Chains A and B, each alone.
Chain A
Amino acid sequence: GEDVEQSLFLSVREGDSSVINCTYTDSSSTYLYWYKQEPGAGLQLLTYIFSNMDMKQDQRLTVLLNKKDKHLSLRIADTQTGDSAIYFCAESTDGATNKLIFGTGTLLAVQP
């Protein structure tokens, strides 16, 4: 069945780059997403990538997709304390429903 896995925790210093990794099992995944959840808040869509792309950049965020290894990463450049949150990887397949299958989430702690 579909499964999405992430490491649970990442700690970085302010100003460094953060790289959050995700693996998925469904080879028919068409869209892959990164969501951010701050304490007490909902899920904020950060970015997403189509499976026919290798990379997508959006300001400080870079998404890399290795479709052969079913590996997705999110790089945050110049990480700030405001980036401290849980980051969820999610995937969906094409179709009318577009339901999202989420990973476990990675807690990013940014040390000043």
Chain B
Amino acid sequence: EPEVTQTPSHQVTQMGQEVILRCVPISNHLYFYWYRQILGQKVEFLVSFYNNEISEKSEIFDDQFSVERPDGSNFTLKIRSTKLEDSAMYFCASRTDRSSYEQYFGPGTRLTVT
């Protein structure tokens, strides 16, 4: 069964460093998402992406964040200068098209900023 994959499973970085989190959505899906979950808190929407552009972003998704679909399979989240409060589990999700309301999630990347 097709699934969303994410790499790495755990990333440790120092404050101020740039990180790139990678996702491979399900191959025929057109809508892509990033969510994050700070330990002990709710899963929060960060950004949605369709047709090679951001369709919606939350207040969390400030200038330090960017997303890209560099090729036909990968979807990346970049944090330019990480802060301690960026430590969280980051989930990628995808869905087929506008007629579907099922989002499928990857296993997540745990980001630890020290």
Residues of A within 8 A of B (CB): 31, 35, 40-45, 48, 88, 90, 92, 96-105
B108 cross-chain contacts in A, Cβ below 8 A: 42
- Chain B interface residue count: which class? 20 to 34
CB < 8 Å: which of B43, B44, B48, B106 contacts A97? B48
Across the interface, do A45 and B45 meet the contact criterion of CB distance under 8 Å?
A: no
CB < 8 Å: which of B4, B50, B102, B104 contacts A96? B50
Across the interface, do A48 and B101 meet the contact criterion of CB distance under 8 Å?
A: yes
A100 cross-chain contacts in B, Cβ below 8 A: 33, 35, 43, 45, 103
Please list 24 pairs of residues, one from A and one from B, whose beta carbons are closer than 8 Å in the complex, sorted by A's number: A42-B91, A42-B106, A43-B93, A44-B105, A45-B103, A48-B101, A48-B102, A90-B43, A92-B101, A96-B50, A96-B55, A96-B98, A97-B56, A98-B31, A98-B48, A98-B95, A98-B101, A98-B103, A99-B56, A99-B58, A100-B43, A102-B35, A103-B42, A105-B43
Report the minimal beta-carbon distance from A33 to chain B, rounded to whole angstroms.
8
Give the number of A-B contacts (CB < 8 Å).
54
Report how far A44 CA is from B35 CA in the complex, Å.
14
Closest to A6 in B: B42
Report the minimal beta-carbon distance from A86 to chain B, rounded to whole angstroms.
10
Which residues from 19 to 49 on chain B have a C-beta closer than 8 Å to any C-beta of chain A?
A: 31, 33, 35, 42-45, 48
Report how far A31 CA is from B98 CA in the complex, Å.
13
Across the interface, do B91 and A43 meet the contact criterion of CB distance under 8 Å?
A: yes
B101 cross-chain contacts in A, Cβ below 8 A: 31, 48, 92, 98
B105 cross-chain contacts in A, Cβ below 8 A: 35, 42-45
Report how far A60 CA is from B43 CA in the complex, Å.
26
CB < 8 Å: which of B44, B50, B58 contacts A102? B44
B103 cross-chain contacts in A, Cβ below 8 A: 45, 98, 100
